[in-house]
Structure 1
């Protein structure tokens, strides 16, 4: 997280400045179709054997008078996805083998390659949200200068960072054990995620 974003987050947390109120949050959420993308193990990046990447396009309204990162942080926290951070997406492939991850685009746009070197490139922009099941490789190929992401994690699981073949044998065992989240990070307990991941198992 940049020094500027770290400072903003501290000030906002202490004062409430530029943070959305609880009653405003529902009006900032748009009903959106869940776009799903399935990826196979490519020999280096395992991806998830059963559950797809889920992308909601333009799911969150980001009004100019509120910090967009604060909106995403509060939304994810409300739905049980915490330990949030503000930053970009690494320019090398990484994934998590013991926990799922949500990425909300707060500002700007980028092209992100999912899976690994033989993966799929998806363009993302402010207001989009991607939910990555454990094992999903991701790498930023290009981003606008103002690109900012808020990431968060469900309460069950352990954060780890994996980058390639050396972890492959171990992570193919741990990835399927990552617990399914109780709530969709955008739409809550009745959101599409539970049905999509359940049906895919």
Structure 2
């Protein structure tokens, strides 16, 4: 792993659009894996996530609509292509994700693909016992979503290794 220190992105809840986001920061690890073969990179992300207690669940692209998961934290390992993603809901911040990067989304954080390469693909993983529901912002449901987010257990380790508590204090 090249750089174990992630970028931290803090996103406030958006009452206007109903996206809870999280008091915990989004973690963006850049160029975690540098193998040039996409399939090897996908396999390596899956093995790494599993080893650190985040069982891989799927390989897919990032949805092009804003959504969040109030019942699960999510790890995304980009193994092919690149995308411009919006984090935090419709009024959120944009970042570019490239093959080799890992994005760790605390429960409640909105995310969507704004623009992506045709071959863009990721490995998705969740801590054991956490099942993601795909939710869209609803201002009338914001308080309920925030309550669900607050009860999601914090995993011990980051999906790339190392204790998560120090980053998610």
Same fold (TM over 0.5): yes
> Structure 2 CA distance, aligned partners of 1:113 and 1:127?
18
Match of 1:5 in 2: none
Alignment of 1:57-72 (within 5 A): 57-64=30-37, 67-72=40-45
Q: Considering only aligned residues, what root-mean-square deviation do their CA atoms show, in Å?
A: 1.6
CA contact (8 A) 1:95 1:161 kept: yes
CA contact (8 A) 1:156 1:181 kept: no
Question: What TM-score, normalized by structure 2, do the two folds share?
Answer: 0.92
> Structure 1 CA distance, aligned partners of 2:65 and 2:131?
21
CA contact (8 A) 1:107 1:146 kept: yes
Distance 1:60 1:167, change over 3 A: farther
Does residue 169 of structure 1 match 2:143? yes
Does residue 38 of structure 1 match 2:10? yes
Distance 1:119 1:66, change over 3 A: closer
Partner deviation per Cα, 1:37-59 (whole Å, 9 max, x = no partner): 001111111101x2000000111
**Structure showing greater relative contact order (alpha-carbon pairs closer than 8 Å, 6 or more residues apart):** 2
CA positional deviation for 1:78: 1.0
CA contact (8 A) 2:28 2:103 kept: yes
Question: What TM-score, normalized by structure 1, do the two folds share?
Answer: 0.78
Partner deviation per Cα, 1:123-142 (whole Å, 9 max, x = no partner): 01000001000000000000
Match of 2:79 in 1: 106
Secondary structure (helix, strand or coil) at the match of 1:98 reads coil
CA positional deviation for 1:146: 1.3
Secondary structure (helix, strand or coil) at the match of 1:77 reads helix
Secondary structure (helix, strand or coil) at the match of 1:139 reads strand
The size of the alignment, in residue pairs, is 166
> Which sections of structure 2, spanning at least 5 residues, go unmatched?
none
> Structure 1 CA distance, aligned partners of 2:75 and 2:51?
14
